[in-house]
Amino acid sequence: MINKTVKNVGEALQGVEDSMTFMLGGFGLCGIPENAIGELVRLGIKDITCISNNAGVDDFGLGFLLQNHQIKKMISSYVGENDEFERQMLSGELDVELTPQGTLAEKCRAAQGGFPAFYTPAGFGTEVAEGKETREFDGKMYVLEPAYKANFAFVKAWKGDEAGNLIFKGTARNFNPCMCGAATITVAEVEELVPAGTLDPNQIHIPGIFVQRIFQGERYEKRIEQRTVRPKE
């Protein structure tokens, strides 16, 4: 067993510097690496590029980094629900690259799997395809999209073991598995870190080979963005 555990979030983020590119898992506020984000805020590093489907809300998730003006560029598919984001984008403070959601996921997974680029039909004929190579296959048009390159990937899983094996829960899985192994260093934070041999190998979603560092997050708020319920009958 190759032990991937680090003792805390501080050790997990060793080596992060100004101007780096980070991948961050999560959809909305669901499955975001809360502890890694908190540490990035504490470290105060600047001019970072974030690849993340969303940009958090004003007072949670990546919103903390935006409030601190630590982000230079956001690469996302949807950035509503965040006033500070909108303000920084419209004022030109923040560079924003909007990417179709499936393309964003695949650009991560391509990096994970060693593909330099791939063709997708998403965005053909729209401003997303401007300046990009296009090609016809079987009568349909596709856009060439390169894989992402990132220094760190910060992902969040439900359970993990010392070997870096990960299990996700519910829709908190989302972009997290696609980002594992897609950056130079993948840092996984988990709600519960268990000794190697505890998790059933049949149930592992992401094998530890894609993870360089793993730690148990100190606390998770797991804020709900839209609490929708129905009355009990």
27 contributes a contact to other proteins by CB under 8 A: yes
Q: Which is nearer to other proteins, 40 or 172 (CB)?
A: 172
Instruction: Report 151-190 residues binding other proteins (CB under 8 A).
Output: 158, 168-178
| Residue 10 CB neighbour total at 10 angstroms | 12
Q: Which residue has the tokens 């349909």?
A: 140
In the list 131, 139, 201, 231, the residue contacting other proteins (rule: CB under 8 A) is: 231
Closest distance of CB 9 from other proteins, Å? 20
Which tokens in the block code for residue 82? Answer: 């965040």
Judged by CB under 8 A, the stretch of 5-13, 126-134, 146-154, 159-167 that binds other proteins is 126-134
Contact 108, 23 (CB under 8 A): yes
60 binds other proteins (CB under 8 A): no
Please answer whether residues 113 and 105 qualify as being in contact, where contact means their C-beta atoms are separated by less than 8 angstroms.
no
Provide the 3-class DSSP secondary structure of residue 97: strand
What's the CA gap between 151 and 218, in Å, rounded? 24
Token code pair at residue 51:
């690849």
Binding of other proteins by 204 (CB under 8 A): no
Residue 215 CB, shortest distance to other proteins, in Å, is: 19
Which of 31, 164 has the CB closer to other proteins? 31
Which amino acid does the sequence have at 171? T
Residue 48 and residue 68 in contact, taking contact as beta carbons nearer than 8 Å: no
Which positions lie near other proteins, rule CB under 8 A? Answer: 27-31, 53, 76-81, 86, 89, 96, 98, 100-106, 108-109, 120-128, 158, 168-178, 205, 222-232
